[in-house]
Amino acid sequence: MPNIDPNIFLYYAMRGEAYYDVQPTRERYLAFAGTGTYSFRDKINIGGTIRYDGTNAMGKSKIGRWLPTWNFSASWNVDGEPWFDNQEVLSSMKLRSSYGLVASIGIAKNSGLVLRNSLSPRPDIVENEPIMNIERLANTELTWEKMYKWNLGTDMAFLNGRYTLTVDYYDHKSFDLIGDLRTSSIGGETIKTAN
């Protein structure tokens, strides 16, 4: 059985802080996904994925709550071409590329008003009363963090597969990132978490 020091409760009450906290939250997520691939003579391969994600963490806005993401990829097995057999240096070679949009929710949890319960700071413990503070104002324009990802690469094998080489080039462009922004304090916040 734990030992509880009553002075701890007195300490928090004198400072106007609650010694307990209840934070019920409900975050719901729903996603629909579809994928497809096509291969032409085992040389040219094309694939794609489409997702439609939704969450209530982005508030009531339909623009922020639901987001379609997608990815398309293609590859070419160069070693399947008839002219590839006419050389002796490469034993296999594949060229590949992909492009798509990915997203994440990020760190923001203020699509709705965030309130925090506490106790009023009073000199005597019997004078304390519960109060409610506004921790964050609602941000109805909050959206997902997004990134366009592009990849171009090749896989090669030399001397009957004795040596292999993989070369990749990546280009990622992020936008709508979520972070703390300094505002003009109109609305009651000097720092707001937003895109």
Compute the distance between CA of residue 163 and CA of residue 156 in angstroms, rounded to an integer.
8
**CB neighbours of residue 100 within 10 Å:** 18
The three-class DSSP label of residue 101 is strand
Least confident of 17-26, 90-99, 136-145, 161-170: 17-26
Compute the distance between CA of residue 96 and CA of residue 161 in angstroms, rounded to an integer.
19
Residue 177 has what pLDDT? 85
Residue 16 has what pLDDT? 65
58 has pLDDT over 60: yes
CB 50 within 8 A of CB 24: no
1 has pLDDT over 60: no
> Please, which pLDDT band fits residue 26 given cuts at 50, 70 and 90?
confident
Whole-angstrom Cα Rg for the chain? 28
